[in-house]
Structure 1
Amino acid sequence: LVHKFPSLLEYKSLTFEEMPPVTTYLIEDPDPAGPFGAKEVGQGPLLPIPPACANAIWDAVGVRVDQVPIHPHHVLKALDSKAKGKEARFGPTSFPEVDFGFTLEVPTPWEGGDGQASNEAEFRLAMGRASKAGTMQEREAALKAKGVGSLTTRLEGTKGD
């Protein structure tokens, strides 16, 4: 699910002494979704670490922790739920509904693309709305609704800069 404060500082990768033997095979295979076939480089090997930690907890004590970073008090709360006959689990109970707004479509070079969005004109027309569905608020309305003077995130070039 979604991380509240994503950070790899909470998780330590294996040291050279702890790492089992690994054989790496490099396969040149362009990613059609990446610009000019590019793929990620460094984060791929890190992706399995949090689920491996969660599965190790499951194997050790029989409870699930569905959020990261995993802290001892999360495991204890899941163990407490299990002892009370409830679900042996800690973490979010549902995925939040998120309106990601307008999606730009950028064709790859072999699809005839030149690095520009094919639907940019439609995007510019939609800039008056905060999201494609029209459900996200404008910055000023969100500030007023939250009763705060600033929001933590906003896109540069949108109203409120």
Structure 2
Amino acid sequence: MPVAFEQAPPRRFDLVVGADGLHSRTRALAFGPEERYVRHLGIHTAIFGVPNHLGLRNTGRLYVSPGKAANVFSDGSSADRARAALHFADDGLEYDRHDRARQRRIVAERFAGEAWELPRLLAEMETAEDFWFDANAQVVMDTWAAGRVVLLGDAGYCAAPTSGRGTS
């Protein structure tokens, strides 16, 4: 199967495995547009690293308010680091998924005025280098193979970050 690359000459492969996530370009090329397979679940999530100011070790803390939840949990990488996950319900939020500044503003607007650790978490979010934001979505497909292309992990059967963090 011939495969074209952006920064290398085309090559032929016996099998192409797409394991390139929820917004899989491999899936789009082999099976069609994302809209056919990705089902938005009405929640968006931001995840990023924070200082472990709560002293968490193999545990986490959860804050819930109507339509929102925030949790901070130890990530196992070091005793002084933790992860924050901010979740909120939405009704079809539109945004550029490559515009990190806009995504941070969306999260900050949704959690503005919340109590608990939220002001501190929002401040940490502004400078987090590992900031990630996306819709919670499920990939639903009748088949994960087309000819010599096969999909694995979130590209083929993402069940949403809130279900177990994809293929991790």
Q: Shorter-chain TM-score: what band?
A: under 0.3
Normalised to the residue count of structure 1, the TM-score between the two structures is 0.19
Question: Which structure is higher in helix share?
Answer: 1
Question: Which structure is higher in strand share?
Answer: 2
Normalised to the residue count of structure 2, the TM-score between the two structures is 0.18
Where relative contact order (Cα < 8 A, 6+ residues apart) is larger, the structure is: 2
**Bigger Rg, which one:** 1
